Amino acid sequence: MGERVPAGKGAVGSRRSADLEGLLHFVAVNCRLPTAYTLLMDRFSRFVDAYNDIDEFLRERLNEGDGVGFGTLLRAYSERYRLPPHDVELIRLLSGLRNELIHSTSFLEPLIEPSERALAEIERLRDGLLRPVRAIDRHRKDVVTLALEDSIRSVLKAADEDGFNVFPVYDDGRYEGLVTADGIVRLLARVGGKGIEDRPISEVLALDPKRLTGRIVAGGMALHEVQAMFADDPRLQAAVLTQSGRENERPIGILTVADATRASL
């Protein structure tokens, strides 16, 4: 004979069972793995967030308010800080996509969505602006410096031992110029080869009075800015890196044209 159930207890048990089933249904509906909709909204949010980060960064760096359009900000920043033209055009295109996304959003979901590639590109560009690769990150670590009174023989010896072909020259702690293989060849063409090894390197620097072959830059300068410097002036062969970009500072690195080219590959 079955167990007698006290009056009212079965009803309570049924309600508890129903409550448990409702809880399980809620968990199943709201705590399941990401759906196509949630993935779409995640891409949408990340894309718009990346764009907003770029917009905020440009306004802060240029000290501009909300009244200035994004295109104007981008053009001004790229001219001042020499952004790569390809990146500038890509940012412009992606900003147009952002506008389409915002304006196509209905009450429930966007009518269009950013692709994975578009999302990856705008996040890459955002990270490149906010945390750019610096010249010091790609510099040649060892810097061999010379003095004005050193002989060309010492240049040739250093080139043979260290494998370098550009050497910053300092006099009493101040940058005086850059000795390069091209400079030695020009001196050789002018004075001939006899006894050239014993001539002071000051004679090589005298052939480059405007110091066009080398330039002092701050190690924290963005790599793309240094690359733009090389592209603008084919006579420039190396950027000598110092802490703050001053000529009386100790060099902490050197970046040649070849170094900058390899860094962009």
Average pLDDT rounded to a whole number, residues 174-191: 91
Average pLDDT rounded to a whole number, residues 218-236: 93
Q: How much is the pLDDT for 142? A: 78
The Cα 254–Cα 240 span in angstroms is 5
Average pLDDT rounded to a whole number, residues 106-126: 83
Average pLDDT rounded to a whole number, residues 146-171: 90
Q: How much is the pLDDT for 21? A: 59
The Cα 169–Cα 26 span in angstroms is 74
Three-state SS string across 97-141, please? HHHHHHHCECCCCECCCCCHHHHHHHHHHHHHHHCCCEHHHHCEC
Confidence of residue 151 (pLDDT cuts 50, 70, 90): very high
Q: How much is the pLDDT for 191? A: 86
The answer to whether 260 and 215 have CB atoms below 8 angstroms apart is: no
Higher pLDDT residue, 201 or 6? 201
Map residue 149 onto helix, strand or coil: coil
The answer to whether 197 and 204 have CB atoms below 8 angstroms apart is: no
Match domain 137-263 to its CATH number in 3.30.70.260, 2.30.130.10, 3.40.50.12780, 3.10.580.10: 3.10.580.10
Is the pLDDT at 4 greater than 80, yes or no? Answer: no
- The pLDDT tens digits for 22-35 are 554 554 455 444 56
The Cα 73–Cα 70 span in angstroms is 5
Q: 180 exposed, middle or buried (CB, 10 Å; 0-12, 13-18, 19+)?
A: buried
**Average model confidence (pLDDT) for the chain?**
85
Q: How much is the pLDDT for 48? A: 92
Cα atoms in the 13 Å half-sphere on the side-chain side of 14: 5
Domains of the chain, residue spans: 36-130, 137-263
Q: How much is the pLDDT for 103? A: 80
Map residue 212 onto helix, strand or coil: coil
Average pLDDT rounded to a whole number, residues 192-207: 89
First to last CA, the chain: 86
Average pLDDT rounded to a whole number, residues 72-90: 95
